[in-house]
Amino acid sequence: MTAASRLSVGQPAELATLIPHLLGFHPRESLVLVGVSGARRRLGLTLRIDLAADAAEPESTDRVAADIERSGADQALVAVFTDQAGDPPALPYRALVGRVGRRLPLIDAVLVRAGRCWSYLCDDASCCPPQGRPVDPAADAATRIRAAFATTGTSVLPSREAVVRVLAPDGGDRADEAAAALDAAVAWRRAAGLRTAGRWARRETVRLVERYADPRVRVDPATAVRIGVALRDIPTRDEVLADWVTAVRGADGAEPAGAWRRLLLDLVRVIPAPYDVGPLVLFAFAAYHDGAGVLVDTAAERALDHDPDCGMARLLLGLLDAQVHPREVVTALAGSA
């Protein structure tokens, strides 16, 4: 169960606060749709399109709304993030919001601009005044939202580009240590054999996940490289993936999911290519579980850059393109384990 699925939002300012957490970054000039399903209004798939480019084409908006609908949503939340001026009732992009509303019933639709928000659907000045309402990061709702996402190890970055940079390889001493350990790690796997090396990597990964409950922990570069070398064996990688599935399933899966994600990110950043492919694929699955589509795309594409034959990376990109719900992916993996 993801942090998003356990949250509910009421006022427009709460929706404006929540969406950057769902995306992993603060959107700019964006139309964002959030799928909502069931009587309990559970939050689901979140998609974003650029107002400057994609939203100019009506079929782009229709396609994103259709993707939200296919994910199982029966309602939607919409937010427009823009610097474009406009005061009620002439809020910018009203026609675009209406186009989404013709496809899916809207619980709310908000404009977010310069630290304030307005509702497209409510004209009652007692709750939605013409001057808008402030998006207050110190409000109780904002604190509650941050706390829910903190357990998964996710954070809100200032831009989409900053999200991509999260996966950038480490430099400096850690990179030097990892490079120096590579030959010894390859020789170790050759001497130990694939299965012995794989069993060690699986035990070591589980042990490290327990340590990564403390966000300050970082893996030793030599250990990271041994894990990366062992994960070149696809059965070993798939066994570690099964361990991840076991950890994230169930109502109490948020904290172990965060520890796994922090560990995998650390491995991705320190292990030299092409031995980072296994951790990249595993990290992409963890990001998919958290709904972080930008990270899924970045990690899978980087895995393919280092190993063009990586079928798991291509599978992930296909799932992302089809907007398959993370819950369905985890359920399918659990069934094949």
Q: Is the per-residue pLDDT at 136 higher than 70?
A: no
CA-nearest of 247, 318, 310, 223 to 274 is: 310
Rounded CA separation 191/105 (Å): 61
Domains and CATH numbers, the chain: 4-150 (3.40.140), 165-336 (no CATH)
Query: How far apart, in Å, are the Cα atoms of 114 and each of 6, 51, 118, 138?
Result: 28, 17, 11, 16
Per-residue pLDDT, averaged over 32-40, amounts to 85
pLDDT in the model for residue 247: 85
Rounded CA separation 22/157 (Å): 11
Percent of the chain with pLDDT over 90: 41
Query: How far apart, in Å, are the Cα atoms of 188 and each of 198, 252, 268, 281, 327?
Result: 12, 37, 20, 23, 38
pLDDT in the model for residue 2: 47
pTM recorded for the entire structure: 0.73
Q: What is the pLDDT of residues 258-298, one digit of tens each?
A: 889 999 999 999 999 999 999 999 999 988 887 778 889 99
Q: Is the per-residue pLDDT at 4 higher than 70?
A: no
A 10 A CB-CB count for 176 gives: 12
pLDDT in the model for residue 323: 72
Per-residue pLDDT, averaged over 321-329, amounts to 78
The tokens for 306 are 């280092």
Q: What is the pLDDT of residues 197-255, one digit of tens each?
A: 999 999 999 999 999 988 889 999 999 999 999 999 999 999 999 999 888 875 454 56
